[in-house]
Amino acid sequence: MITLTQRVKEGERWEAAKDRLLSGFRRWWKDKETRQHVRGWLRRIETTWSSSSNGWHVHAHLACEGSFWDQREIQASWDRHTWWRNTTTLEEPRKLRRSTVISMLRSPLPD
């Protein structure tokens, strides 16, 4: 499981924050290095309001199929394709709760 995040921009509208994340995700997914490690994924976009930053925190959770990819390399790749300092998080598959995967499967498809 990979979580890709972006920094909150104060006052940014929700639609703009979501579009910014999805734009970075499309560039990241088209990259040859990403395709070498990730063969397929199930993605869920989550959004929370950050009252401390006065903006939307939009992030993507990915359940991935593929080969080992070091977290530092994923971070560097994500940063290259998003043009802003972000964070990535990895979770070991055994730590995924069944309810997390089911909620990802039940999520509506984005427009």
**Model confidence pLDDT, tens digit, residues 58-109:** 999 888 888 988 888 888 888 888 866 656 665 655 555 555 555 555 555 4
Q: Kindly indicate the confidence band of residue 38, based on its pLDDT and cuts at 50, 70 and 90.
A: very high
Residue 111 has pLDDT above 90, yes or no: no
Decide if 24 contacts 6 (C-beta within 8 A): yes
- pTM of the predicted structure, to 2 decimals: 0.74
pLDDT score at 28: 92
**Helix, strand, coil: what percent of the chain each, to 5?**
40, 30, 30
d(CA 44, CA 106): 10
Q: Distances from the Cα of 61 to the Cαs of 5, 52, 72, 100, 103, in angstroms? A: 9, 23, 17, 10, 11
**Any alpha helices (H) in 31-70, and if so which ranges?**
32-37
Residue 9 has pLDDT above 60, yes or no: yes
Q: Kindly indicate the confidence band of residue 32, based on its pLDDT and cuts at 50, 70 and 90.
A: very high
